[in-house]
Structure 1
């Protein structure tokens, strides 16, 4: 299940730090009942000993935005991004009651704080898609990141690009685990192939931790019924930090 939420501000622009994923994530956690928020933040859904949150969210969309590379945010000189109001955000989860709770909570709120901005809900709509096919083109609403962790005296992360075979391998394994959590069915491999069409690397930070991810369009071949199950959980890693939200475009 996914929602498209339109926020309007009391000013012409909504100004945020350029790396705003943590800000949006915090707003979403605060927009849930306390028990559910604590469960998602501190626990999640487990596959063996690995937690999955099974939700994701998009980048912010707006008719117009501009970047100020020498902006002062708080006490730091850092880049900022200003979006012309109204702004749009997509949120999704393969666990419907999570999204239902967001909708029920946010619709009752007169105002929502997004960093130093006070915004209000202008509209909210459920965005459903049912026409899944064996071959589809998808685009990212937030960039996809996949990586492996290595130890060589210290821990480091190796991120993979769409042209590397590990990109597809890691997504397939990630989807297999999510599918098991959602359905209870244990499958050997999630049936999907992923081919990049037009992609670009983006470098983002989450709590000052650098993350390499990829935006763009992909051609996928899959089992439509199985894909429908995991569609709203996100592709790749760090979904609950605002990575891996995709949209079928054809």
Structure 2
């Protein structure tokens, strides 16, 4: 996520600072780096061919800053490696309907707070727990309220078709999410927001990015 914020900073330094230091819900997401040929080794992942990254936000200024930043820099820096940017493309926006099928480009994270020895601890949920669906819907509606300044009515119904859990570490802290394929039934504008801002938590750290099947 530091690489993404670095590019946004190049495009718009003031906006980058507002995003970075705000404790409010972040309204952007990005995918994992996708490559057809890659090799996993002890040092990490070696990309052996061209790769792509999806960045998305319902906020035009955020997208503008990211695009201006990556075009200005000409590369994406990840730790000690640099990926040269060959092109930036704007995909065609899907037609959003009351029921759609999606798959993740980065894992979806959903959590809840549990009391453990008089201390509140974050517990990561999977779709086999009913709280996963409740908290995912709550998070999505909070994002909608943040963007549009109003509530959206109706329920969000999700049918998980396939799910694979993944464990990550963010600044040394274990984080559990899941790659999945799922059907979602909801207000089309709410589905659109999930598509643009990401589903679930920690989207600005590279989680919850999806595409339409």
Query: How high is the TM-score relative to the length of structure 1?
Result: 0.79
Deviating beyond 3 angstroms after TM superposition, the runs of 4 or more aligned structure 1 residues are none
Higher strand content, 1 or 2: 1
Aligned residues: CA RMSD: 1.6
Deviations 1:102-141, CA, capped at 9 Å, x for gaps = 1122112234422111222101101232311122111000
SS at match of 1:123: coil
- Alpha-carbon shift at residue 229 of structure 1 (Å): 3.5
Match of 2:16 among 21, 37, 57: 37
- Alpha-carbon shift at residue 85 of structure 1 (Å): 3.4
Compared CA separation, residues 190 and 242, structure 1 to 2 (3 A): farther
- Alpha-carbon shift at residue 54 of structure 1 (Å): 0.5
Q: Please, which runs of 5 or more residues in structure 2 have no aligned partner?
A: none
SS at match of 1:182: helix
- 1:159 lines up with 2:132 in the alignment: no
Q: Distance in 2 between matches of 1:118 and 1:110?
A: 10
Higher helix content, 1 or 2: 2
Partner of 1:6: none
Match of 2:32 among 59, 71, 88: 59
Match of 2:102 among 138, 148, 152: 138
Aligned residues: 209
Contact 1:171–1:236 at 8 Å: present in 2 too? yes
Q: Distance in 1 between matches of 2:75 and 2:203?
A: 26
- Alpha-carbon shift at residue 228 of structure 1 (Å): 2.0
Query: How high is the TM-score relative to the length of structure 2?
Result: 0.91
Q: Distance in 2 between matches of 1:226 and 1:171?
A: 12
